């Protein structure tokens, strides 16, 4: 299958498969993909298949082929799904946008960037190792850090109360951020969405 030319061709949302993890903080990447498919991207135009140990959605956006991927390998082995799919489709590292949760960002904050380290995130660490390249683009969704206790238990827990509302709003903003990357590029998306919620420019992207 031929991939799109130029810009982001593959959007990867990170998470863990299974209903027990569906609403956990660690599944922010999966949730953003679901928001995209639920209407942020043109509905009904992405066909689902199973490939590279993943749920894969293939369609067109702005007259170009676009692929969305939800690895089913569990977080620590995400790269074992992303690398084979990107190589099969001839997609370069810099043409991949990976969406993940981030402990170091407050709940509701987003951070877009090109390349960088894994930041202690095991999913990103696996992707870097399997691609042999850290140059892929990132969208990190803040989940906050626990006041105390085990971080593993924390990332596998869900939200409640005001945090749940804040996070739900963040997922909508994250999906719009992806749409902005696709339509206007990473720099425009960074300028708009890396600010605190409410501080970003009001210019709406096509």
> Has residue 203 got a pLDDT over 50?
no
Q: Which helix (H) or strand (E) holds 68?
A: strand 64-71
Share of the chain above pLDDT 90, in %: 83
Of 113, 149, 125, 124, which is closest to residue 28 (Cα–Cα)? 124
Q: Indicate if 50 belongs to the active site.
A: no
The C-alpha atoms of residue 139 and residue 129 are separated, in whole angstroms, by 19
> Has residue 5 got a pLDDT over 50?
no
pLDDT class of 199 with cuts at 50, 70, 90: low
Of 191, 164, 192, 105, which is closest to residue 140 (Cα–Cα)? 105
Q: What is the pTM of this model?
A: 0.92
Distance of CA 163 to the CA centre of its chain: 20
Per annotation, catalytic residue among 26, 35, 109, 138? 26
Residue length of the chain: 206
For the chain, how long is the longest CA-to-CA vector? 48
Over residues 18-42, the pLDDT tens digits come to 999 999 999 999 999 999 999 899 8
Q: Is 198 helix (H, G, I), strand (E, B) or coil?
A: coil
The C-alpha atoms of residue 145 and residue 160 are separated, in whole angstroms, by 15
10 Å CB burial of residue 199 (0-12, 13-18, 19+) is exposed
Of 20, 29, 25, which is closest to residue 54 (Cα–Cα)? 29
The C-alpha atoms of residue 95 and residue 16 are separated, in whole angstroms, by 23
pLDDT class of 187 with cuts at 50, 70, 90: very high
């Amino acid at each position: 299958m031929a991939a799109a030319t130029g810009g982001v061709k593959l959007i990867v949302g990170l998470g863990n498969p299974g209903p027990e993890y569906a609403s956990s903080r660690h599944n922010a990447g999966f949730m953003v993909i679901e928001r995209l498919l639920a209407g942020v991207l043109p509905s009904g135009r992405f066909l689902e298949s199973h490939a590279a140990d993943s749920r894969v959605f293939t369609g067109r956006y702005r007259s170009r082929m676009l692929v969305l991927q939800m690895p089913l390998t569990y977080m620590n082995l995400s790269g074992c799904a992303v690398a084979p799919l990107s190589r099969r489709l001839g997609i370069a590292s810099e043409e991949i946008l990976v969406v993940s949760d981030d402990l170091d960002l407050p709940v509701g904050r987003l951070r877009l960037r090109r390349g960088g380290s894994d930041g202690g995130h095991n999913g990103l660490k696996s992707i870097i190792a399997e691609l042999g390249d850290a140059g892929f683009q990132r969208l990190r969704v803040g989940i906050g850090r626990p006041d105390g206790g085990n971080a593993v238990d924390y990332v596998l827990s869900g939200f409640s109360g005001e945090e749940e509302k804040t996070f739900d709003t963040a997922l909508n903003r994250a999906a719009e951020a992806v749409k902005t990357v696709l339509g206007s590029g990473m720099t425009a998306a960074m300028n708009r969405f890396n600010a605190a919620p409410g501080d970003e420019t009001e210019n709406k992207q096509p």
